[in-house]
């Protein structure tokens, strides 16, 4: 136990964010000692913000607010006309056995394929950005199709969306497919914290019935475990805060543009 605690302390001290926090605390102490109130106040505010985001459960609480509405429903997906997976799960790689590297959203294709394995829909729609191949810009969803076909995974009919700049682009393309094929319901697969914006974008684009399925739950799906408090800031908590901030800004931007 002591060895583990010591190892954790050493690892925390090696993090650049810990150096920044200790530096700010050092500036705070020396500024108070020298009577430089403005400098001391600035250091206190910055240290407090760094500690508040990186050392407390704040990021977990914020993400939980985005994810929790979709937890139970993600285990009870109904029958639909198509499974729609939003992009962002991978990037092209010319150096690995498979032609892509999975990123933080790598659970999305697994969840989408599990829905297809369960027979929830006959069509799998894959969204995503693009990658450069010669003088062409190709949809990175075709990289997943190579893997799906090579492993003979249960995917039904696969439809690849054109390279998209954002979720709005994907939503417009999905709505066009819904109209041309006479679909009524689609199962939308994305990260739990992204489902609110993705679902709203599809509905606004003209998809009549969207059922959201979370492929990953960053904070909510932790079997009731409580997020601990700490002293030294953690990179992972800043990554979670960045995810929440990205979704909040994206949500308000989409609302302003009339896309959600």
pLDDT tens for residues 129-138? 988 888 889 9
Ordered DSSP codes for 88-122: -SEEE-SSSSSSEEE-TTTHHHHHHHHHHHTTS-S
Residues 6 or more apart from 69 whose CB is under 8 A from it?
196
Query: pLDDT for 186-226, tens place per residue?
Result: 999 999 999 999 999 999 999 999 999 999 887 654 544 56
Query: pLDDT for 141-156, tens place per residue?
Result: 999 999 999 999 988 9
CA 234/CA 55 separation, integer angstroms: 6
Q: Is the pLDDT of residue 4 over 50?
A: no
DSSP letter assigned to residue 156: -
Give bridge partners of residue 90 from the DSSP assignment.
102
Q: How far is CA 244 from the centre of its chain?
A: 9
- Is the CATH number of domain 66-217+250-257 3.40.50.720? no
Token pair listed for 166:
């954002």
């Amino acid at each position: 136990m002591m060895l583990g605690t010591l190892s954790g302390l050493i690892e925390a001290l090696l993090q650049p964010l810990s150096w920044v926090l200790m530096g700010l605390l050092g500036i705070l102490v020396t500024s108070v000692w020298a009577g430089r109130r403005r400098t001391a106040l600035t250091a206190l505010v910055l240290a407090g913000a760094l500690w508040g985001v990186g050392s407390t459960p704040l990021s977990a609480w914020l993400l939980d607010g985005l994810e929790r509405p979709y937890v139970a429903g993600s285990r009870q997906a109904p029958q639909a006309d198509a499974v729609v997976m939003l992009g962002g799960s991978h990037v092209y790689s010319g150096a690995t056995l498979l032609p892509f590297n999975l990123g933080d959203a790598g659970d999305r294709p697994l969840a989408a394929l599990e829905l297809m394995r369960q027979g929830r829909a006959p069509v799998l729609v894959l969204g995503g950005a693009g990658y450069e191949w010669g003088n062409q810009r190709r949809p990175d969803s075709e990289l997943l199709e190579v893997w799906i076909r090579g492993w003979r995974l249960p995917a039904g009919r696969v439809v690849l969306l054109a390279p998209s700049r954002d979720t709005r682009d994907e939503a417009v393309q999905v709505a066009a497919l819904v109209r041309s094929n006479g679909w009524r319901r689609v199962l939308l697969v994305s990260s739990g914290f992204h489902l609110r914006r993705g679902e709203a974008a599809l509905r606004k684009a003209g998809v009549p019935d969207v059922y959201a399925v979370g492929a990953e739950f960053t904070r909510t799906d932790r079997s009731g475990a409580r997020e601990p408090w700490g002293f030294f800031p953690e990179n992972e908590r800043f990554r979670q805060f960045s995810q929440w901030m990205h979704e909040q800004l994206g949500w308000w931007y989409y609302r302003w543009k009339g896309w959600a």
